[in-house]
Amino acid sequence: MATPIFAPMLIVPNGLTDVSFYTKAFGAEEIRRFSNDDGTIHVAELSMNGATFHLHEQWKTKLVSPQKAGASTVSVNIFVDDVDAVVNQAVAAGAKITSPVQDFDYGYRQGDIIDPFGHCWQIQKKI
């Protein structure tokens, strides 16, 4: 059996053409994009240091964007070398802080943000 690889798919609102938040905030690299006839994004595949994730437009299933749902039911957690720098970079790219960066007694430095599309991210480092 192959080793499982976790590749989250984040649902974004229909009609988007710009997902540069992820390259600006996290240094993600866009690997490929599948566009609709009108130039909007159907699927964008991105990578952060070899970790793949997908952005997919909302479609006729139970998967909807956090904006449409009015909430997010998941947090995407990433480990980085400098939590403060990444959170600041994400805020400069359009994110909002939902929990400021701080050290926790369980051995992690963490900060929480919400991206412009409503997805929650926890930026963290083991200390």
Domain of residue 77 covers 9-126
Average pLDDT taken over every residue of the chain: 93
User: Count of domains in the chain?
Assistant: 1
Is residue 37 assigned to a domain? yes
Q: Residue 98 sits in a domain of what CATH number?
A: 3.10.180.10
Q: How far apart are CA 21 and CA 89, in angstroms?
A: 10
Element holding 127 (H helix, E strand): none
- Strand 9-12 to 108-114 pairing: unpaired
pLDDT digits (tens, 9 = 90+) for 50-65: 999 999 998 777 888 8
Is residue 1 assigned to a domain? no
Is residue 52 assigned to a domain? yes
Band (pLDDT 50/70/90 cuts) for residue 77 is very high
- Phi-psi category of residue 94: left, alpha or beta, with phi > 0 → left and psi -120 to 50 → alpha: left
Mean pLDDT score, 15-42: 94
Band (pLDDT 50/70/90 cuts) for residue 73 is confident
Band (pLDDT 50/70/90 cuts) for residue 5 is confident
Mean pLDDT score, 116-121: 96
Q: How far apart are CA 111 and CA 79, in angstroms?
A: 11
Is residue 21 assigned to a domain? yes
